[in-house]
Every structure is written in structure tokens, then in C-alpha cells.
Amino acid sequence: MHKSFSAAAGALTLLAGLAFAAPAQASEQRHNHDTAKLSVLHGVPGLTVDVWVDGKLTLDNFTPGSLAGPLDVRAGEHEIAITGAEATSADNPVIGPVEVDLKAGRDYTAVAHLTADGKPTATLFKNDTSAAPDGKGRLTVRHVAAAPAVDVLAGGKAVIEGLENPHEKKLTLKAGTVSASVAAEGSTDALIGPADVPVSEGRNTIVYAWGSLADHNLGVAVQTVKLSGHDD
């Protein structure tokens, strides 16, 4: 299959050694104007993969549940493909080839995952880095599992309802710890969790539900992204 989604090649450029060597001042200027931040999550159970950029192997033996990044990557167009770990070329990808156009100044996570009906795919998420009120942070939940719509429960009550693959929902919360679980839509029987999720001031805590309900290997991955106006 041949898709287009922006900016999935970021982790690859760093691992391929494509970062420029330059004095600190020039590097900082380039990061401000010519780069984006990108993380990559592998959410396909049971499949160790290789990632190829423009036909070159750049990420070897990437295992399920692994999160790479955030990385500063150069803007521009690339083509990537995800193959099985034993592949000798990018000719027969399990996902892609994907044409990417990396936009400067943005923060993304590219996720290799399963569709709701269990087929390998990829989704690019733009991470919300907008400022939150003092004393608060953001909680983002992303459904990238082979499973029907889900509810996210806190304190036994649904705080996010009917979240479908491959979508996300966001909450702005007081900093602290949230005990959360994931249940089938309309149910309070936990499929994942409950688990304590820290929500930090000035951070976007991103929780991914990945894996397969039918194969009993649902899992959780957590990513934290700094919000604007918070340098600590």
C-alpha cells in the first residue's frame, strides 16, 4: 500500500546519522527554523521491524512497545518503509512506503499499530504543546489497538467515552496522579488497568492503548511532551 502522512521519518534521520555537525549557535538556529520534534512508537504486537528511509536501513530490530525520541529532525521530504526484521531491502514493506513531508517547528508522534480490525497501519499524531493554566497539565489518550471503541474510566466513571481507533481525546487536569483504566464502550469492566498515571504541570502526558483485544495482548505506552511556556 502507498500512503502519505506528514513527518514520520524523524527518528530515522537521526539514527541514519543525518544530523548536521555545526557550532552550537548555528545548531540552535537550525533547530528553531529547520527542524521538528518527532517520536516513533511501535505498537504492532509480535512483529519486530526494520525501518528504511529512502531505501536505506536506518532503524534495525525495533521491538513492540518501544518508543524512540523525541528527536530533532530536519525538515524536508522523505520516503520510508517498515519491513519485517529479516528483510534485506525495503521492497516488500508491511507498512508503507510512506511519503513524508516534515514541517519545521512542530511536534509529532508516528505510530505503527493495528487498525480496529487487526491490520498493520501507521498514524501520525500532532502533539498538543499549547500552554495549560498554572498548576495544570494535559492528559491525552490515543486508541491504536485492534479493539472496538473504548471508554476511559477514572474513579469508576467514564471521563472519556466512545474513543475509536485511531483517534485521540484530551483533558486538561490539575497536576497529580490519576488512577485510570480502559473499558469497552459502555462498560466498567477494565480491559487495561487500573494504572496510576501522573499528570504533571506544564506537560502533556500521552497514553496509548495498543495491541489486540482478540489476542489478549493489550498494552499501554506513555509519552510526555513539554508544553509551551515551561522550560524546566
Q: Are residues 60 and 71 in the same domain?
A: yes
Assign residue 161 the CATH number of its domain.
2.60.40
Question: Residue 190 sits in which domain range?
Answer: 128-232
Q: Are residues 204 and 133 in the same domain?
A: yes
Q: Are residues 155 and 202 in the same domain?
A: yes
Per-residue pLDDT of 153-191, as tens digits, reads 998 899 999 999 999 999 999 999 999 999 999 999 999
pLDDT at 122: 87
pLDDT at 22: 30
Q: Are residues 25 and 120 in the same domain?
A: yes
Point out the domain boundary residue: 73, 93, 126: 126
Q: Are residues 95 and 200 in the same domain?
A: no
Q: Are residues 2 and 71 in the same domain?
A: yes
Q: Are residues 42 and 108 in the same domain?
A: yes
Q: Are residues 222 and 121 in the same domain?
A: no
Q: Are residues 90 and 169 in the same domain?
A: no
Amino acid identity of 100?
A: V
> 85 versus 56: which is more confidently predicted?
85
Structural domains in the chain (count): 2
Q: Are residues 87 and 134 in the same domain?
A: no
Main-chain dihedrals φ then ψ at residue 14, nearest 5 degrees: -65, -50
pLDDT at 208: 97
Q: Is the pTM of this model over 0.85?
A: no
